[in-house]
């Protein structure tokens, strides 16, 4: 698949081939940098999803029985193809999401980390073995794939998240059905071709494009054993409640309100530079983006705000074709409108507008969905812009008097995805790490997202279910354990019936 300027009709990817949609319903795919429609994605019916599930189910036994070493060979080949096709993938990400080339490349690198972790599946699948647990019985455990699993991906990471929530599932022997975001389906279809070229058997990797009708079939269909989801908190809660109601294993990752605590002893120049990239990168469309700064002390708050104001004014927004831009557009005009409403609402509630990005100059010449970086201060925890996730470049500064107040404010928030703190005090950092009730924590780190071999997941209403996106827990999520007790009696051994509960008779009371 190559990047084309004229609109194209996309397909599903089912049983190893591209399949045209039959519903007659389509979703328009935009280039956010230009505002143009570049493709239309078919929206699957329940029947189309059912058929895809059945084909995946039929393919699963063969993949399950494939030696783990052979499965890993496919992943190694797939990884190499991701590297070889990196430029094509970058072009697709930029076109359908509006990201800069540098940001798109970083996304691919992080996605490959997930493939690297999946390549370690043989280590993750090792069981336990105990000799003579009693009565000459040996006990051991074995891990098995679940069967057909489904993953539902967001728009903000067209490549990284699909790789993060599917690679391990494939490696441990499952058949995977991916439902990508309707806004960025092109990259997912390209990845499908790479899996095919890497030697993955037909039916083990499926892409079904669709909306809520397709999602509900995945949630309700008895053949789907597990669901992994990344998106907003309201939808994550719906996915979790509906999926578990139908007896599925569910890991649903929701939104975040990720704060940066700035201590008076921090280097404010360095901290401000860290804030810029973490807060405004990718037009702030990251679930781990810094939503705002909680600055300790009135004087520190004023100095930090002044430094941010000067630096933010120098940021450049524009299309990915301009190598000098810091970030691009938001994903849709609807998203842009929502973000502007948050800004307007904050001003109406008493916040002070430090930098106004609602009408950037580029909008005079481009129909892209651009918003400039916006900064508000005098924000309080009772304001809507503080309480709700804003998925766009409107960031806030909140003044607090002490570290304890900052910790309490964050712990009282319903979301708990990520948090970070900038300080030169080890004692303050230790107190912060021990008391903060957030899943991913950083100290002097702009975005505390774990590397691929550590578990990723928030707390509170940022995650529903016990699974994780990265790390060893992902292998546990996509497998089930079987414990086996085994004894081989001697043919001359005399045995008698016993009605006591099984125990080790050698144990003395």
Catalytic residues: 287
Containing 242, the helix (H) or strand (E) segment is helix 233-245
Which residues have C-beta within 8 Å of that of residue 357, sequence separation ≥ 6?
Answer: 371, 372, 373, 374, 393, 394
Q: How many CB atoms lie within 10 A of CB 425?
A: 15
User: Which of 71, 23, 10, 5 shows the shortest CA–CA distance to 478?
Assistant: 71
Strands 137-145 and 17-19: unpaired
Query: Are 64 and 173 a contacting pair, CB within 8 Å?
Result: yes
Q: Is 495 exposed, middle or buried (0-12, 13-18, 19+ CB in 10 A)?
A: exposed
- Starting at the edge strand that comes first in sequence, how are the strands of the sheet with 8-9 ordered? 8-9, 36-42, 26-31
Query: In this structure, are strands 418-422 and 148-152 parallel, antiparallel, or unpaired?
Result: unpaired
Intra-chain end-to-end CA distance of the chain, in Å: 72
CA neighbor of 307 nearest in space, from 216, 242, 214, 377:
377
Which tokens go with 314?
Answer: 């120098």
Q: Using an 8 Å Cβ cutoff, are 416 and 400 in contact? A: no
- Hey, CA dihedral for 210, 78, 227, 456, is it positive or negative? negative
d(CA 31, CA 306): 35
Helix H or strand E segment including 406:
helix 403-411
């Amino acid at each position: 698949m190559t990047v084309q300027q004229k609109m194209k009709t996309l397909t599903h990817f089912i049983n190893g081939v591209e399949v045209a949609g039959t519903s007659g319903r389509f979703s328009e795919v935009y280039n956010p940098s230009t505002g143009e429609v570049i493709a239309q994605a078919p929206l699957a019916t329940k029947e189309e999803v059912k058929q895809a599930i059945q084909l995946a189910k039929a393919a699963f036994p063969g993949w399950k029985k494939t030696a783990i070493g052979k499965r890993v060979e496919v992943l190694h080949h797939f990884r190499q193809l991701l590297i070889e096709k990196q430029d094509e993938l970058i072009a697709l990400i930029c076109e359908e999401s509006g990201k800069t080339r540098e940001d798109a490349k970083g996304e691919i690198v992080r996605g490959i980390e997930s493939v690297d972790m999946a390549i370690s599946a043989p280590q993750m699948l090792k069981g336990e073995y105990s000799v003579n647990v009693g009565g000459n019985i040996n006990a051991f455990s074995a891990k098995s794939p679940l069967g057909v699993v489904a993953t539902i991906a967001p728009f903000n990471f067209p490549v990284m998240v699909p790789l993060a929530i599917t690679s391990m599932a494939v490696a441990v022997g499952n058949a995977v059905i991916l439902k990508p975001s309707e806004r960025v389906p092109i990259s997912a279809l390209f990845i499908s071709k790479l899996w095919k070229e890497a030697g993955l058997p037909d039916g083990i990797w499926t892409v079904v494009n669709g909306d809520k009708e397709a999602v509900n079939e995945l949630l309700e269909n008895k053949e789907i054993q597990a669901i992994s989801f990344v998106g907003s908190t309201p939808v994550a809660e719906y996915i979790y409640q509906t999926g578990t109601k139908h007896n599925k294993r569910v890991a649903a990752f929701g939104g975040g309100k990720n704060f940066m605590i700035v201590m008076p002893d921090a280097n404010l120049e360095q901290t401000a530079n860290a804030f810029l990239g973490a807060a405004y990168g990718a037009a702030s469309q990251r679930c781990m983006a810094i939503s705002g700064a909680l600055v300790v002390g009135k004087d520190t708050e004023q100095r930090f705000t002044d430094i941010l104001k000067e630096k933010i004014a120098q940021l450049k927004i524009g299309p990915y074709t301009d190598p000098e831009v810091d970030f691009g557009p938001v994903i849709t005009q609807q998203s842009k409108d929502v973000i502007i409403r948050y800004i307007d609402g904050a001003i109406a509630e008493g916040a002070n507008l430090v930098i106004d990005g609602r009408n950037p100059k580029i909008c005079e010449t481009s129909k892209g969905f651009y918003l400039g970086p916006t900064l508000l201060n005098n924000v309080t925890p009772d304001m809507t812009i503080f309480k709700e996730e804003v998925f766009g470049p409107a960031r806030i500064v909140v003044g607090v008097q002490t570290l304890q107040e900052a910790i309490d404010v964050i712990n009282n928030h319903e979301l708990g995805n990520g948090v970070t703190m900038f300080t030169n005090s080890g004692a303050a950092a230790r107190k912060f790490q021990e008391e903060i009730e957030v899943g991913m924590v950083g100290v002097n780190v702009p975005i505390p997202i774990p590397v691929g071999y550590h578990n990723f997941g928030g707390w509170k209403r940022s995650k529903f279910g016990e699974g994780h996106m990265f790390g060893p827990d992902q292998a546990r999520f996509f497998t089930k354990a079987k414990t086996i007790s085994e004894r081989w009696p001697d043919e001359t051994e005399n045995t008698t019936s016993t009605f006591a509960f099984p125990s080790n008779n050698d144990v003395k009371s």
